[in-house]
Chain A
Amino acid sequence: MFEVFFGYPLSLYRKGELVLLSPYPRWWLAAAVVASALALAAAVWRRRARLAPGLTGRRPVFVWLLQACLLALVLLLLWQPALRVSTLKPQQNVVALLIDNSSSMMIEEEGETRLAQAVRLLEGGLLEGLSKNFQVRLYRLSDRLERIPDLGSLGAARPATRIGDALREMAREAASLPLGAVVLLSDGADNSGGIDLSTLAEIRSRRIPVHSIGFGRERFARDIEISDVKVSERALAGSRLSAAVTLRHTGYASRKTRLAVRDGDRLLAAKELVLGPPERRQTELVLFHAGPAGIRTLEFSLEPLDGEENPRNNALRRLVQVEASRPRVFYFEGEPRWEYKFIRRALAEDPVIELVSMLRTTQNKLYRQGLSSPEELADGFPGRVEELFAYQALILGSVEAGYFTPVQQELIRQFVDRRGGGILFLGGRAALADGAWATSPLAELLPVTLPSQKSSFHRDQAAVELAPAGRDSLITRLVEDPEENAKRWSELPRLADYQEVGEPKPGATVLALLRTPTGRSLPLLVTQNYGRGRSAVFATGGSWRWQMRQELADQTHEIFWQQLVRWLVTGTAGLVSGSTPRPVLTDESIVRLEAFVRDKTYLPAADARVEARVLGPDGLADTVELAPDPQQPGSYRADWRAERPGSYVAEIVAVRGAEEAGRDTVAFRREDGVAENFRAEQNRELLEKLAEQTGGAYYRPAQARRLLDDIVYSEAGITVQETKELWNLPAVFLLLVLLKTAEWFLRRRWGVV
């Protein structure tokens, strides 16, 4: 219809440049239009009273406007308007047909795979039509771009789609080929992270239009997909872990399904869940035990539902490095009390945590337990960095701030801030506000603003309950089910005592509350991050009643303390800490290995030699040296190519001088062909944007024949300039008639014909 009135296809107007063919200057046209409009205005104004008394009010303005437009249009036509456009010279240009044969193109829709639909479209005349005017080159596009002689050579599906890489390759070919246009037949399910700006810029600089034909449904009618899984990359052996699993679905609102976590064939956890509204992201928390030390490849999967169109996106894998290390925790207690004994007992049952404690039994005696040697802590509370920083977490019991010297107080602050250790303040007769901690320099470490008055400690029993933030916390999760857990907390025996700790600081998280005998609700367990470490307040010295007042088989007290202390030590790095930004490489091979090296006082060490010894699948072994980052002292990095899919372990070793500074292990995994199953609907947005950015157009398969007309308009390859005159368009004639008819109609209506 557009072409009937405007003579040429819309794409021509989009690509063409409007020009005036008349040799007269353009300003003459503007002047003529203005002059004639003014002359018309004067004539209408002067003659209206005499010849047309009915033209009153605004009516002469309308008449003048219509006449002026008509005159302006006639003047424009005298200047010969036209479209100038570049078109591909027939038989002299190459058109590249890129056919996506990745595994997402094998998804079957209405009895036919997406690839089969593309082939059918090409064989149905499109290929022949293009071949009439151009030299057509066929390519198959997946994780690489390969030229093929014919459609029969498409071959088996490949595991990934890298549209960006393919376009870069085409741009390179265009340097030696008269490439007129690129036609991309794809579902747009790119899994290389999109098309980067430099590739787009290269394509645009060569003016190659990329036309895209989209295959596949833009939305599955019935599908459920795990979009993401967030889980800690490191854990202590036997720890409880939580994973946040994000899923989305279409067509299964209010349906039940089962989320499972597996380590190989072993089921670690399972959870029944009800699916929410469609198209919305839904995040589910699932808890499981990390098990013994080792590298775990955990699979998070959803049970397929009946009629699901793409069940291959129901599972995702993540790597978790379960460490064999035994973090050392130092507990300093200012007076003998039951809490001390029962904390020791609870942590003694933890095979991972090593608790070293020191207790002021009398005015002049310190009693030490859990020592690795008789010399450990022989001089009392540590006064040197090497002594205190040997621990990963510190627990301070009922002890006044003034007990510690200013040097020790600064050491404690540095322990959390620089060392990245965890610190836990317990309530007690000489603790927190009653121990003058509010006015000590260490008050900033606390996650609460302590009350200024003393006598905040009360030897009265207090009930406990879970705070809203505690529902999702691993520290306070006593039983798996969140509802059951909240109930469990409210049923716990009362604490033997409690302490008022004031208001939580901004950024702090209140995980549990206590209820005083007078009914006041106060923070019980508050946590926050401080510097590189963590701090927490547990506002009681009486949780031992959870052990003595519950059945012998009950493990609440042990679980709580083990989880709290494991949280304290989590993330407390050693002298060398290795990492990788992406522990799971999806359809790519380059892994970045990073290490941060510190000296014995935990200051960055920029003078280390750092290398990674990588072990991979099938006995693959390699050594790579990490180069120091001049911008960040202590930081080292290297890129390494993981040649084969599978799990890898890199042991990072740092050496300073002749001495080993420390070592750490990093695990990563290369997975091929998995990402292709996710977001497998047609990514129309990507295909449209790609076409729009390069001067091409997006087509549905049903509209693809229009490509035969549109593809000739291109500025790439070998082109000719064509000029398309516009004066003889039916639309121009219609406009002339319309303007005159409108004037006549108005005059008739007003009786001034």
Chain B
Amino acid sequence: MAARGRTLWICSLALVCVGVLAAQRLRFPDLEDHPAPFPPDGHEKTEFAFARLMYPSIGRGYWGWRGAWTTDYPKADRQFVQGVRRLTRIHTRSVEEVVDLDTDKIYDWPFVYAVEVGHWDLSDQQAARLRDFLLRGGFLMTDDFHGTYEWDVFLASMQRVFPERPIVEIPSEDEIFHVVYDLDERFQVPGIQYFYSGRPYEQDGIEPRWRAIYDDQGRIMVAICHNMDLGDAWEWADLPRYPERWASLAYRIGINYILYAMTH
């Protein structure tokens, strides 16, 4: 009898939790890396929303401690889209969209941002869905992973997505660096760690790399920002001591990538 009562109590609590989550829809307050205020127009229906990919992390499990996908979330997202709204004509929502790779929701958000992919660990099913998403016309931007070890971890999952497609350096003349801003001059954008470590790079990721996976028509499907932390630059753009030139480049790269995704 006591066991049945406890089960009932747990089920009720779970239902309440699900209800609260559903009510908040766009918010994952417990998972926020760096909380940010929810704007009053956060529920506006728009053409574009900054979609953040939810994925399982290596060694820590899907719903383990916060998950690597939440890094900089949601402050980076909300601060970045303010720039997108101000600098482009994209009808953009002020609040990001979290996209779970275990559902078909990803197909409604053709631009997806994945952070800390040096820790992701996609299942075969998730890899297949991501591959399908990209081949149908979706676009994935990855960011904030550094050095050889994290590259290898990234590659292990990415090769499950596209075992046959090479990852190549994006030439400077590629449209992705010119669609809005001409980004011939690019440099490493360090994260906030620079102020603790004094180094612009993390681990052995000294050289910033702008890499990509192309489709058969020569269009970028996956834009890989390796050895840089654009997410931190968006997140800390309002920090007085964070250099403007880093934040500015991060915004420009982000905007170019989104516009590229919406035109190619």
Interface residues of chain B, those whose CB is within 8 Å of chain A, are 45-48, 87-91, 104, 107-108, 110, 132-133, 135-138, 179-180, 217, 258-259, 261-264
Contact B110 A548 (CB under 8 A): yes
Our pick among A334, A348, A460 for the contact of B89 (Cβ within 8 Å) is A334
Query: Considering only CB atoms, which chain B residue lies closest to A345 in the complex?
Result: B137
Sample 6 A-B pairs with CB under 8 A, ordered by A number.
A336-B89, A337-B47, A340-B262, A341-B263, A361-B259, A369-B263
A403 to chain B, nearest CB (A): 12
Bound form: Cα–Cα A550–B108 in Å:
11
- Provide the residues of chain B in CB contact with A541, threshold 8 Å: 47
Residues A361 and B217 in contact in the complex (CB < 8 Å), given A341-B137, A459-B45: no
Contact B137 A361 (CB under 8 A): no
Interface string of A337-349 (1 = CB under 8 A from B): 1101110110010
Q: Does A566 contact B (CB under 8 A)?
A: no
B92 to chain A, nearest CB (A): 10
Residues A335 and B135 in contact in the complex (CB < 8 Å), given A365-B180, A367-B179, A367-B263: no
Query: Considering only CB atoms, which chain B residue lies closest to A359 in the complex?
Result: B263
Contact B89 A360 (CB under 8 A): yes
Contact B263 A338 (CB under 8 A): no
B-facing residues in A160-174 (Cβ within 8 Å): none
Bound form: Cα–Cα A459–B91 in Å:
12
B264 to chain A, nearest CB (A): 7
Bound form: Cα–Cα A338–B132 in Å:
18
Contact A336 B263 (CB under 8 A): yes
- Provide the residues of chain A in CB contact with B259, threshold 8 Å: 336, 361, 367
Contact A548 B137 (CB under 8 A): yes
- Provide the residues of chain B in CB contact with A359, threshold 8 Å: 263
Residues A337 and B107 in contact in the complex (CB < 8 Å), given A361-B179, A369-B263, A459-B45: no
Contact B180 A367 (CB under 8 A): yes
Q: Does A552 contact B (CB under 8 A)?
A: yes
**Other A-B pairs beyond A340-B262, A548-B108, 7, CB < 8 Å:** A336-B88, A337-B90, A338-B47, A362-B88, A362-B89, A362-B180, A552-B135
Q: Does A429 contact B (CB under 8 A)?
A: yes
Contact B45 A460 (CB under 8 A): yes
Q: Does A198 contact B (CB under 8 A)?
A: no
Contact A342 B137 (CB under 8 A): yes
B84 to chain A, nearest CB (A): 10
Contact B263 A344 (CB under 8 A): yes
Interface size bracket, A side: 20 to 34
Contact A548 B138 (CB under 8 A): yes
Contact A548 B263 (CB under 8 A): no
Bound form: Cα–Cα A277–B251 in Å:
71
Bound form: Cα–Cα A361–B108 in Å:
21
Q: Does A547 contact B (CB under 8 A)?
A: yes
B48 to chain A, nearest CB (A): 8
B-facing residues in A348-368 (Cβ within 8 Å): 348, 359-363, 365, 367
Q: Does A217 contact B (CB under 8 A)?
A: no
- Provide the residues of chain A in CB contact with B133, threshold 8 Å: 548
Query: Considering only CB atoms, which chain B residue lies closest to A357 in the complex?
Result: B263
Contact B262 A348 (CB under 8 A): no
Residues A552 and B136 in contact in the complex (CB < 8 Å), given A335-B90, A361-B88, A367-B180: yes
Contact B180 A361 (CB under 8 A): yes
B-facing residues in A440-494 (Cβ within 8 Å): 459-460
- Provide the residues of chain B in CB contact with A341, threshold 8 Å: 110, 137, 261-264
Contact B180 A545 (CB under 8 A): no
Bound form: Cα–Cα A514–B90 in Å:
25
Closest 5 CB pairs of A and B: A459-B45, A335-B89, A548-B107, A336-B262, A336-B90
B170 to chain A, nearest CB (A): 18
Query: Considering only CB atoms, which chain B residue lies closest to A461 in the complex?
Result: B108
- Provide the residues of chain A in CB contact with B45, threshold 8 Å: 459-460
Q: Does A549 contact B (CB under 8 A)?
A: yes
Query: Considering only CB atoms, which chain A residue lies closest to B46 in the complex?
Result: A459
A255 to chain B, nearest CB (A): 46
A355 to chain B, nearest CB (A): 12
Bound form: Cα–Cα A337–B46 in Å:
10
- Provide the residues of chain A in CB contact with B135, threshold 8 Å: 552
Our pick among B91, B136, B258 for the contact of A335 (Cβ within 8 Å) is B91
Bound form: Cα–Cα A699–B7 in Å:
103
Contact B91 A337 (CB under 8 A): yes
- Provide the residues of chain B in CB contact with A496, threshold 8 Å: 108
Residues A549 and B107 in contact in the complex (CB < 8 Å), given A336-B263, A459-B46: yes
- Provide the residues of chain A in CB contact with B138, threshold 8 Å: 548
Query: Considering only CB atoms, which chain B residue lies closest to A344 in the complex?
Result: B263
- Provide the residues of chain B in CB contact with A460, threshold 8 Å: 45
